[in-house]
A and B are shown apart, each in its own frame.
Chain A
Amino acid sequence: MRPALGRDIPLSGVVLAAACVLTSLLGAGCRGGEGGGLTLAGSTSVQPIAELLGEHYMATHRGSVINVQGGGSSAGIQAALSGAADIGMSSRNLKPEETGLQATVMARDAIVLVVNRDNPVRALTTEQVRGIFSGRTRAWAEVGGTGRRLTFITREEGSGTRGAFEDLVMKKEEISSDAIVEDSTGAARAIVESDPQAIAYISFGMVTPGIVPLTLDGVTPSAEAVHSGRYHLARPFLLLTRGAPSGPAAAFIEYVLSPEAQALVTQEGYVQARPAGSGR
């Protein structure tokens, strides 16, 4: 076992290698800069349709880059205000204290109550839903179902879907602390898909075959029902900018409001934004 005397650690070699790696990382950055890139951040309910529209936009407008992130409606509003994102996405109306932003309605969406396929309940009233989520109703038997355990799932506090649900259904009552809290539609949906005793509220556009949307106050949720206003549990999908949209943001928003983009909106299960000027 001879000691390896005289074998220098090529320290200079290591430093050189590190420099090469770092330079290539930075150099790569110089080549394809983020210029012209647009960042959208916010509601996870808006995210899928925004992503889809972004992909189509990038396909037809070469050279543009659209980055879509989640985080929730509250995060999106923050991001738009702070400039961290070019466009904020929200799935609820702005609160009175959230000023300084211009909102463009890009679509409308229904919030639906969903249950497992094996749950016999197919319709509820708003009052019953309020009872369930406030914890007053303790068993499915009380609302026409079977079984005792009633597991209700809510979104996290920063969620626009939750905000809209609280405004439109809960009114002044709080969602009980017994509620299971999940931070994504997917997680809520997955639980309902596998648990016959579960109920959750999600965006209509994200309903999958494995779960059943409930009729609310006698109205079955559909794009038509939302558009006509019969299904009242609806909220706008908003694109938010600090002040009037300009530059790449304005171009993208203009695209989103175009007939072809709105056709995509309908195709995905959402409702078209009302034409501009027709009043809210």
Chain B
Amino acid sequence: MKAKEWLIERALLLMALSAVTSLALIAIFVLAQGLPIMLREGLGSFLLGHRWAPTKHAFGILPMMVGSTCVTLGALALGGPLGVACSVFLAEVAPRRVADVVRPAIQLLAGIPSVVFGFVGITVLVPLIRNHIGGPGLSVLAAAIILGVMILPTVISISQDAIEAVPRTYKEAALALGCTPWQAITRVILPAARPGITAALVLGMGRAIGETMAVIMVIGNAVKIPHSLLDPARTLTGSIAMEMGYASGEHREALFATGVVLFVFIMVLNTIVNLRLGRRREAS
């Protein structure tokens, strides 16, 4: 009997290690494919090289790094405030009935496949930008808007959890002192929820930088550092997705190297969030 229990526990432990093992496998394989070329070309010239022309042996990913950064920051600028506002709405302002409808609706937004967002982007948003603002329409702006919408569910749900985790006594005390509910929110609750909201934004950022399909469809994929919001650009993810189908040899290694950069960046982001969230969980 005891032996059976011991065996079961060991089996479960093995299962439990599956996530960590998968992560390790991913890291190993992607690094194994991508690291050699990064070392061969030199980390500096790979990360900061202006020119990406893999069939002509030019492997600089700076245009994509800038593209990804611009698009992500744009997404945060649009989706961040809107998301936090919605979460405040759901946590503090909305009547119970309304919140019960709105919250699942926002989660629905999370379920819509990214390619559908991309499609709506290219059929509706891109012509809109082209005709009413300027440029070819395929632009950093279009990608930022689409991504802003796509990160809303992440930002909203995590921010909402953070706001709801603030002890009610804080709010009650503020109200008792004569604050309007809005003052209570801005001066007491939001500052108290700040670590959680920051985590929400950071995770939203992670989602934005990792998004591929929707971005390819609306950003124009020009291998050039964008000089304005209306310029087309290319992201790290877009580069991989567009060229993986036919890349071979050095070119394929370079794409994996791009993947390594992405992977490292996301891991760093996630680690930071986990450490901060973990600390907060222990504190409360």
A complexed with B: yes
Per the bound structure, the CA–CA distance linking A194 and B125 in Å amounts to: 12
A197 within 8 A of B: yes
| Interface pair B122/A72, CB less than 8 Å apart | no
A74's closest neighbor in chain B, by CB? B246
A156 within 8 A of B: yes
> Nearest Cβ distance between residue B6 and chain A, in whole angstroms?
18
Tell me the total A-B contact number using a CB cutoff of 8 A. Answer: 65
Give the residue of A70, A72, A180 whose beta carbon is less than 8 angstroms from that of B138. A180
Per the bound structure, the CA–CA distance linking A167 and B138 in Å amounts to: 28
A182 within 8 A of B: yes
* Contact (A178, B245) CB under 8 Å given A151-B136, A195-B130, A198-B136: no
* Contact (A195, B137) CB under 8 Å given A74-B246, A158-B247: yes
Residues 87-128 (chain B) with a chain A CB within 8 angstroms: 122, 126-127
Residues of A within 8 A of B217 (CB): 187
Residues of B within 8 A of A72 (CB): 245-246
A191's closest neighbor in chain B, by CB? B138
> Nearest Cβ distance between residue B241 and chain A, in whole angstroms?
9
Per the bound structure, the CA–CA distance linking A187 and B220 in Å amounts to: 10
| Interface pair A178/B222, CB less than 8 Å apart | yes
> Nearest Cβ distance between residue A9 and chain B, in whole angstroms?
13
Q: What's the dominant secondary structure at chain A's contact region? A: mixed
| Interface pair B221/A157, CB less than 8 Å apart | no
Residues of A within 8 A of B242 (CB): 156, 181, 183
B171 within 8 A of A: no
Q: What's the tally of chain A residues with a CB closer than 8 Å to chain B?
A: 27
Residues 117-169 (chain A) with a chain B CB within 8 angstroms: 149, 151, 156-158
B54 within 8 A of A: yes
Per the bound structure, the CA–CA distance linking A187 and B115 in Å amounts to: 14
| Interface pair A177/B127, CB less than 8 Å apart | no
* Contact (A180, B136) CB under 8 Å given A194-B127, A195-B130: yes
| Interface pair A181/B220, CB less than 8 Å apart | yes
Give the residue of A151, A182, A198 whose beta carbon is less than 8 angstroms from that of B221. A182
B56's closest neighbor in chain A, by CB? A174
B55 within 8 A of A: yes
Interface residue tally on B, bucketed by range: 20 to 34
A71 within 8 A of B: yes
A75 within 8 A of B: yes
Residues of B within 8 A of A158 (CB): 243, 245-247
> Nearest Cβ distance between residue B213 and chain A, in whole angstroms?
12
Per the bound structure, the CA–CA distance linking A156 and B234 in Å amounts to: 12
| Interface pair A177/B222, CB less than 8 Å apart | yes
A194's closest neighbor in chain B, by CB? B127
B276 within 8 A of A: no
Per the bound structure, the CA–CA distance linking A34 and B127 in Å amounts to: 45
| Interface pair A78/B222, CB less than 8 Å apart | no
Residues 211-266 (chain B) with a chain A CB within 8 angstroms: 216-217, 220-224, 232, 234, 242-243, 245-248
Fill in one digit per residue for A229-251: 1 if any B CB lies within 8 Å of its CB, else 0.
00000000000000000000000
> Nearest Cβ distance between residue A91 and chain B, in whole angstroms?
13
Residues of B within 8 A of A191 (CB): 136, 138
A190 within 8 A of B: yes
* Contact (A180, B232) CB under 8 Å given A149-B135, A151-B136, A194-B127: yes
> Nearest Cβ distance between residue B210 and chain A, in whole angstroms?
19
Per the bound structure, the CA–CA distance linking A183 and B122 in Å amounts to: 15
> Nearest Cβ distance between residue A193 and chain B, in whole angstroms?
10
Fill in one digit per residue for B47-59: 1 if any A CB lies within 8 Å of its CB, else 0.
0000101110000
Residues of A within 8 A of B135 (CB): 149
> Nearest Cβ distance between residue A232 and chain B, in whole angstroms?
24
A181's closest neighbor in chain B, by CB? B221
Chain A residues in the interface with B (C-beta under 8 A): 70-75, 78, 149, 151, 156-158, 174, 177-183, 187, 190-191, 194-195, 197-198
7 A-B interface contacts by CB (under 8 A): A71-B245, A74-B248, A151-B136, A157-B55, A174-B53, A180-B221, A183-B242
